[in-house]
Amino acid sequence: MTDLLSDNEKELLLGNEAITRGLFEAGVKFASTYPGTPSSEVGNLLEELSDKAGMYFEFSSNEKTAMEVSAAAASSGVRSFVFMKHVGLNVAADPLMTLAYSGVRAGMLVMSADDPSAHSSQNEQDNRYYSTLALIPMVEPSNPQEAKDFVAEAYDISEKLGLPLLYRTTTRVNHARSVVRLGKIRNDTPLKGHFDKDDASFVNIPAYAVKNRVRLLEKNRLAQEMSETSVLNRIEGEGDIGIITSGVAYCYVKEFVSGVSILKLGFTNPLPEKKIADFIKGKKMIIVAEELEPFLEDQVLRICAQNRFDVPVHGKRDGTLPREWEYSPDTMQRLKDLVKVPEAAVPMAAPDLALPGRPPSLCAGCPHRGMFAATKRAVGNRPVVYCSDIGCYTLGVQAPFRTADFIICMGGGAGAAGGFAQATDQKPIAFIGDSTFFHAGVQPLTSALFNHHSIVMVILDNRTTAMTGHQPNPGTGRHFGGIDTEAVDIEKMVKGLGVDFVRAVDPYDVMSCVEVMKDAYEYDGVAVVISKCPCPLLLKKDKKLAKKVCVVDQDKCVQCYNCLRMIACPALIKKDGKVTVDPSQCIGCHMCGNVCPTKCIEVRE
């Protein structure tokens, strides 16, 4: 692994590694997050490095809390960094909106890692609009080098304005890797500050809020002036065709479009309106290249209208460039009638051959398999809506499980379950992971109790935040950065809320889980089943996975395929009618053996 605290001249860094290094070079002393791809690696790196770097870092229980702890740090004069995936900012939007009114006393960056093409997400929302909604400055890097360098620049902007700043990245910035020239690590910023009380700023009762809005608008005018002269907004090349671009789209324009003048924007809220107007003046054509929504384009069109420029503006509004999905070099071909782009290669033709699919799937021995199998067996043909949530168990949408009928957001399945309970005669069963439960599952559970919704909540407690790369959560306790805490006990917590039906089960004992799930289905009121089993992938990583493997006794096997149909474990192989186990994949969890009617599968050490 690359040493992010080194004083090497250059390193080959992932965007998220570069951002982490950028924090050290900017003297950031406080960071918080809730993990979410494509931002997750920053958290894993800080878990390991924050102590050595002399900064405080935490995984908060959700993005809202992460925003609030970092807001308090920055309000006390400590440079802070809160980061999350794009949909996480929806959760944290409430504090952000008013934090802009309060202002901050040390620099504060809010990193939103957007995910065009929804590689690991449920939508491809464009969070640049949060900057205009909250009236806060925004900076957008285009590549790993900028992702590091712009951090320090962004802190200066945030501090000059006394405002949190939206640091907006996308997957192809966070997960691009390139040669990055390193700078000096900064050690002169305080780790502890002091909160100087000031009700007029930090207590936004209506009388103060209306005044703070005026102050915020004034800060935006100042921000606009800073944007006009910022080094983050620059012009490259010459020509009477102008391309206005930001983010990773710049990289495609820069490499694949020639003979044009490029206005490359890095400080994208407020936009440098005069600079844009001067750039457009005298051009015969303007192209706006940006991923997702026409955020820049609409403002460019407005600037043209206000300046009475009569110049064609090509982009998303006229259909020249797409609004959906991430851009690539191929996207630049859409400009070939307007500008010079390289001739497209002739790709090999798609094969006339059926290829087996290879979708991501639950791992061999994943305990979610057992819980899904048991639930399906317990429910049978009775009416049900499987409300699922955000995590590995989202993959329950696949056959043979099909245990995900409704997924919208973190904690959304548990919330929707209450609605299905009242609005339909289908029994809602909500699956939710341990980390997601702490993030947004406690509130809907409380609400279901309050309103007597007849729901089943299955908490899939695998002792980690698995999908994003195994971060700790309140249910695991914290054990890094010199801080050790006790794990929060989910079972006690649920009982404490007043849930009467609470059962803890071992998902590897599938057939026992079937009986518990039958009772839960029948229960009138809120039933909670806690599936307790650590993620085997994490055990493997930590070298704590016992070496066991399942073996099928072919003499006893009656080829009923219960194991395949119920568990569908990737370690099970069916060939010529015979079921065998792939020892390279099997972890010896014995779920297959548990559902076997002839008990023909044994575990061997």
Partner 1 sequence: MKYSVQIVGVGGQGVLLASMVLGNAAMRAGYEAMMSEVHGMAQRGGSVLSTLRFGDEVYSPLEATGAADLILGFEPVETVRSMKLGNRDTAVLMNLDPVLPGNVAAGFEEYPEISSLIDVIGKENDRLYTIEATKIATEAGKAVAANAVMIGAVAAVKGFPLDKDLLKEVLLEKVPPKFKDLNATAFDMGYAAMAAKQ
Residues near partner 1, by CB under 8 A: 10, 12, 14, 37-38, 40-41, 119-120, 143, 172, 175-179, 248, 250-252, 254-256, 328-330, 342, 344-363, 392, 395, 467-468, 564, 568, 570, 572-575, 582
Rounded to a whole number of angstroms, the minimum distance from the CB of residue 481 to partner 1 is 23
| Number of neighbours of residue 271 by Cβ within 10 angstroms | 24
| For partner 1, the closer CB: 47 or 68 | 47
| For partner 1, the closer CB: 216 or 332 | 332
| For partner 1, the closer CB: 330 or 553 | 330
Rounded CA-CA distance 175/297 in Å is 26
- Residues of 562-592 as b/e, b for ≥16 C-beta within 10 angstroms? bbbebbbbbbbeeeeeebebeeeebbbbbbb
Q: Which of 412, 128, 112, 147 is nearest to 270 (CA)?
A: 128
Give the DSSP per-residue string, 386-397.
EE--SSGGGGGG
| For partner 1, the closer CB: 96 or 180 | 180
Rounded to a whole number of angstroms, the minimum distance from the CB of residue 211 to partner 1 is 44
H helix or E strand, kind and range, residue 67: helix 63-75
427-to-219, 503, 504, 519 alpha-carbon distances in Å: 52, 18, 21, 13
Rounded to a whole number of angstroms, the minimum distance from the CB of residue 363 to partner 1 is 7
Rounded to a whole number of angstroms, the minimum distance from the CB of residue 83 to partner 1 is 15
Rounded to a whole number of angstroms, the minimum distance from the CB of residue 510 to partner 1 is 17
| For partner 1, the closer CB: 58 or 146 | 146
Rounded CA-CA distance 485/311 in Å is 62
| For partner 1, the closer CB: 305 or 346 | 346
Rounded to a whole number of angstroms, the minimum distance from the CB of residue 349 to partner 1 is 6
Q: Which of 40, 35, 109, 112 is nearest to 71 (CA)?
A: 109
| For partner 1, the closer CB: 177 or 215 | 177
Rounded to a whole number of angstroms, the minimum distance from the CB of residue 273 to partner 1 is 27
Rounded to a whole number of angstroms, the minimum distance from the CB of residue 307 to partner 1 is 31
- Residues of 456-473 as b/e, b for ≥16 C-beta within 10 angstroms? bbbbbbbbbbbbbebbbb
Rounded CA-CA distance 447/202 in Å is 31
| For partner 1, the closer CB: 120 or 261 | 120
Q: Which of 596, 594, 507, 589 is nearest to 550 (CA)?
A: 589
